[in-house]
Amino acid sequence: MRIVVVGTGYVGLVAGTGFAEFGNRVVCVDTDASKIRLLEQGQIPIYEPGLEELVRRNAAEERLLFSTDLAAATPGADVVFIAVGTPPRADGGADLKYVMAVAESLAKVLTRDTVVVLKSTVPVGTNDRVQALLDREATVKVTVVSNPEFLKEGDAINDFMRPDRVLIGARDEHGRSVMRKLYAPLQLNHDKLLFVDPRSAELAKYVANSMLATRISFMNDIARLCEVVGADVSNVRKGVGSDTRIGNKFLFPGPGYGGSCFPKDVEALLFLAREHGVDLSLVRATEEVNSRQKALLFEKLVKHLGSVADKRIAVWGLAFKPRTDDVREAPALTLITRLVEAGAEVRAHDPAARNTTRAALGPIADKVIFVDHPYDATVGADALVLVTEWQEYRSPDLERLSNQMRRKLLLDGRNVWPSVDPESQGFTYEGIGLLRPQGGGAST
Strands ordered across the beta sheet of 166-169: 64-67, 25-29, 2-6, 79-82, 114-118, 142-146, 166-169, 193-196
Q: Specify which residues 79 forms β-bridges with.
A: 3, 115
Helix (H, G, I), strand (E, B) or coil at 415: coil
pLDDT of the residue at 285: 98
Distance CA 71, CA 29 (A): 10
pLDDT of the residue at 186: 87
> What structural domains does the chain harbor?
2-196 (3.40.50.720), 210-430 (3.40.50.720)
pLDDT of the residue at 89: 93
Could you read off the pLDDT of 332-387 as tens digits, one per residue?
999 999 999 999 999 999 999 999 999 999 999 999 999 999 999 999 999 999 99
Backbone angles phi, psi at 431, to 5 degrees: -105, -150
Helix (H, G, I), strand (E, B) or coil at 143: strand
CB 362 within 8 A of CB 329: no
Helix (H, G, I), strand (E, B) or coil at 6: strand
Q: Torsion angle, CA of 15/18/22/28, rounded to 10 degrees? A: 60
Which positions of the chain have pLDDT values less than 50? Answer: 437-444
Of the candidates 247, 254, 245, the residue with the CA atom closest to the CA atom of residue 221 = 254
Distance CA 148, CA 152 (A): 13
Secondary structure E strands in 53-192: 64-67, 79-82, 114-118, 142-146, 166-169
pLDDT of the residue at 436: 58
pLDDT of the residue at 172: 95
> Does 28 qualify as catalytic in the annotation?
no
CB 209 within 8 A of CB 266: yes
pLDDT of the residue at 103: 98
> Which is the catalytic residue, given 261, 318, 327, 434?
261
Convert 237-258 to b/e letters by CB count within 10 Å (16 or more is b).
beebbeeeeeeeebbbbbbbbb
